[in-house]
Structure 1
Amino acid sequence: MTETLSLTAAAVKFTCGMTPAALTGEHLRLARRCVLDGLAVALGGSQQPGMAPLGRYILSLGGVADARPMGAAGHRLPAHLAALWTGTAGHAMDWDDTQLAEGPGRPYGLLMHPTMPPLAAAMALTDMVARETGKPVDGARFLTAFATGFEVGCKIAEAINPDHYMRGFHTSGTIGAFAATATACRMLDLDEETTARAIGIAASCSAGIRANFGTMTKPFHVGRAAENGVTAALLARQGFSANTEALDGKWGYLTIAGPGGDPALVVEKFGAPFTMVSPGVSIKPYPSGVLTHPSMDAMALLMAEEGIAAQDIESVGLYAGSNVLGPIRYRIAKTELEGKFSFAFLLAAIALRNRCGKEEFTDDFVSSDACQAMQHRIETHFSEEIEAMGWDRIRSRVEIVTKDGRKVARWANEAYRGSPHNPLSDEELQGKFADNAAGLLTPEQQQKVFDLVWSLETAPDAGALVELTNWGALDGVGA
């Protein structure tokens, strides 16, 4: 009889056994898309207000010049600090992708942002590995390491009790550390014992609380996850000790941070199937929490179908269950960071501009008289009817009352744009990249990024990803 592996052992075995041969077909196609999306949102996020003080802090530390941070390739930093920068930039606009839930009792769309922690870790270690080995890291090695961390993070997020998030932990910061650790271990080609120690180290670094949503610290959670993963792998490689079953047992991570979980849901499923493929990943059309996207699309469609303009709106009601309303905490947004968690702002942006992208997520637009006035016309309402339908999908209904007395309503599409059931096309994904890269990269530079990513598994040097996305400097001053 085969003994069932612990969660830690299953994660370690998968991490060390992952090879480029596992990246085929749909898995390979989706991995490329996730990388392109991650590059896009990190580019756009690198301009956000929180990045300049973070950059000044990083530059003040000095250290070994091992790695180029994304968007600022003129700098060389210690690898863990490059990961911190890139990971924070990638989550700065809350536009990075979202893991879908599969296990029982898991709220749909509320597990983690799976791409940025492993992507930032892989990018940060590309230069170091190239220097140590004397040859570039090829695209196949890079993609394999990225996909490894993506899968490990998703499976641990699926295993932990969903109360982990409901109690206030930010899963992208906590579980993201394990994703980044697995990627770093794969990039460094660590053995099973060393990888197990790295996961143990990461278990004591994992952090992030939802109290900081709506502030610069929320994206810092993801940057710190990437930093922690790189640090854990490098410490383990130096012989630093840690519990090699740190996810499991009475004092293990699942028990302490869940509390509890169900490793049996995933221990036999690492890579079988890959979470990236099934149940899949949502690539966001809007830079806000995925729970808001169906309602935003419903608002836009309702206005178009009924011929309603912003000046026609008397009031808007958004009806949803607690899984949707709970995390969206700001009644009226005063800043763009608060706007990511404010239905009033998100629906106001759609009403006023029929879009909600990088240009709308500015403090000037959020605080403008027109936006503030529209926000005060929008209310959210808890719906017992929708709550009773369950949390297996993101459900909501939008109602608009016009100034001439009309009342119209529309249910949000459960197969919302960006979900695996209604994915963005490659052209739409490239459009999202262009939106994020506007003013930073020329169309010709953007096309070079597309050409590289769409054939990344055959690229001789993955470090070109950093070079091709270079635009400025860590302190906000052009390099």
Structure 2
Amino acid sequence: MTGDKSDGSAFEGLKGLSAAASSFTVGLKYDDISAEALRIGRRCILDGLAVSLAGSEQPLIDVLDRHITRIGGAADARVIGDAGRRVPVHLAALWNGSAGHAMDWDDTQLAEGPGRPYGLLMHPTMPPLAAALAVSDLIAVETGRPVSGKDFMVAFQAGFEVGCKVAEAIDPDHYMLGFHTSGTIGTFAAAATAAKLLGLNVSQTAQALGIAASMASGIRAGFGTMTKPLHVGRAAENGVTAAMLVREGFTGSEEGFDGRWGYLAVAGRGGDPERINDRFGRPLTIESPGVSIKPYPSGVLTHPSMDAMRFLMEENALTPDDIEEVTLFAGWNVLAPIRYEIAKNELEGKFSFAFLLSAIILAGRAGKTEFTDAFVGSDACQTMQRRVSARFDQNIEDMGWDRIRSRVVVKTRDGRTIERWADENYRGSPHNPLSDAEVEGKFRDCALGILDEAATAKLIEAVWKVETLSDATVLYDLLSWKPSGAAVS
């Protein structure tokens, strides 16, 4: 049973970030979303499904599979990769979100506020997308009526916007002092999406966000382990759980973001909600300042440097045997999240410039094939990593954190020194976006060895027309290597 559409008298007169986020979520309609935001939304959904499919075969999903099997429970919703499997709705969200962040290949929100490091807010697609898939399947089971593609898109956009605006509102110290925003703020994105699909009213949606505020977690100590993707899985799981609890009558604060004991004050040393309260949907963050769709499965702050290495190799016709030494120079916004001097496995490799640049040197690319324990641990990769180092550069630091800046210096075995600056308008950013064809190509890379070309083509076609689908959860079948036989309509 969904919630009453009325606001509820208890909510009347309340102001602040909680009220703004809840009112926006409940009030958002398809016609409110611009054509450009819808276009980018389809790209983000296709990209999110791509990285989720690739992540569904990562080792951490095998562990989650055993954990979820042991728990058991209601057959509410399917999971990405296996349309024949049904699990409790919150655990489906956990699976989907963890798979989507397993390779650290999901998109990145751009910051626009002062003092916020460029590209360092949150991964905005996976928490609401994981929640939307799980809750849509639950609704179909409970009511016998599928969630349309149009309603799916609206709920996704609502959660995407709530997460991004809250990330802008909270003090930047939230991330800089160690919280992982995709795990913390992502919880609110998932809660808003779930609340929208469940039809909660404004008061109920505020309470769902208030409950989510007591569940939002994730610290950066987990980077380089299975715990980092678990943050996004738990964000989706906890957001769904918060909305489901409210639907059943559980109560929570309607001002979970606000005041002395609200989330912004407790987890972020405050923030600037007044700058955000009147800006939900004005414009949608997905449109401006936009979102980066990643060309590489690692943190977006590493991508300009990886491209610089790639272009340097190509422009100078260098081979791995030509490389004597590589030094990357950057400021702390780029270097601080990079934890591993030498990566021993794929998870550490995402946070090691030695590996990231070595992959480009050795393979000329860094995709699904290179981000494996076998490639990282190979003799060639381990040897090359020891020729690569990263150094802090005060001059680059003084340029500010409004862009991702770095330069790569290569010394060759024949005595040359070659330097290249990273392009501030890096590939995948809103300033230099991947083309639709490149996003499709990324999906094909992610689907390699999982889906055949015919199934891949069907999925891509379905996402480009997602709002016309009579049942959005057909996406589960198209993503599955164990299809249950549903057809696109």
Q: Please, what TM-score do these two structures have when normalized by structure 1?
A: 0.97
- CA drift of 1:306 comes to 1.3
1:61 aligns to what?
A: 71
1:399-478 to structure 2, matched below 5 A, reads: 399-471=409-481
Q: Which residue of 2 aligns with 1:167?
A: 177
Q: Matched residues in 2 for 1:50 and 1:438: separation? A: 19
Superposed displacement of residue 137, structure 1: 0.7
The reply on whether 1:94 has 2:104 as its aligned counterpart is yes
Aligned amino acid, residue 464 of structure 1: V
Letter in 2 for 1:345: F
Matching of residue 394 in structure 1 with residue 407 in structure 2: no
Aligned 1:48-447 pairs, distance under 5 A: 48-447=58-457
Deviations 1:256-308 (A, max 9, x none): 00011000221111000100000000000000000000000000101111121
Matched AA of 1:338: E
Q: TM-score, normalised by structure 2?
A: 0.95
What secondary structure does 1:366 align onto?
helix
CA offset digits 1:143-200 (Å, max 9, x no partner): 1000100000000000000100011100000000000000000010110111111011
Q: Which amino acid aligns with 2:258?
A: D
Separation in 2, partners of 1:426, 1:4? 43
SS in 2 for 1:50: helix
Unaligned runs of 5+ in 1: 474-479
1:76 match: secondary structure = strand
Structure 1 counterpart SS, 2:410: strand
SS of residue matched to 2:155: helix
SS of alignment partner, residue 90 of structure 1? helix
Between the aligned partners of 1:140 and 1:20, the Cα distance in structure 2 is 7
Preserved contact between residue 103 and residue 265 of structure 1 (Cα < 8 Å): no
Aligned mates of 1:327, 1:347 — CA distance in 2: 16
Counterparts of 1:281 and 1:471 in 2: how far apart (Å)?
30
Q: Which amino acid aligns with 2:221?
A: A
Q: What is the distance in 2 between the residues matched to 1:320 and 1:418? A: 20
**Structure 2 segments unaligned to the other structure (5+ residues):** 1-12, 484-489
Superimposed CA distance per residue, residues 8-50 of structure 1 (whole angstroms, 9 cap, x where no aligned partner): 0000000000111123310110000000000000000111111
**Structure 2 counterpart SS, 1:175:** helix
- Structure 1 residue 472, shift from structure 2 partner: 5.2
> In structure 1, how many angstroms separate the alpha carbons of the residues matched to 2:274 and 2:312?
44
**CA–CA distance in structure 2, aligned partners of residues 359 and 402 of structure 1:** 27
Q: Given residue 151 of structure 2, which amino acid in structure 1 is its aligned partner?
A: R
Query: d(CA) in 2 for partners of 1:392 and 1:367?
Result: 35
Look up the equivalent residue of 2:458 and give its one-letter code. K
- Off by >4 Å, runs of 4+ in structure 1: none
8 Å contact kept, 1:41–1:96: yes
The match for 2:18 is 8
Could you give the per-residue CA deviations for residues 341-379 of structure 1, whole angstroms, max 9, x where no partner exists? Answer: 000000000000000000001111101111011000001
The answer on 1:17 being equivalent to 2:24 is no
Q: Please, what is the CA RMSD of the aligned residues?
A: 1.0
| One-letter amino acid of the counterpart of residue 44, structure 2 | C
Q: Which whole-Å CA distance do the structure 2 matches of 1:288 and 1:135 have between them?
A: 39
Secondary structure in structure 2 of the residue aligned to 1:68: strand
Alpha-carbon displacement from aligned partner over 1:187-237 (angstroms, at most 9, x marks no partner)? 101101111110111000000000000000110000000000100000011
Checking the alignment, whether the CA contact within 8 Å between 1:292 and 1:324 is kept in structure 2 is: yes
**Deviation digits for residues 98-150 of structure 1 (CA, Å, limit 9, x no counterpart):** 00000010100000000000000000011211233321111000010001000
Residues 34 and 97, structure 1, Cα contact 8 Å, conserved in 2? yes
- Matched to 1:330, the amino acid is Y
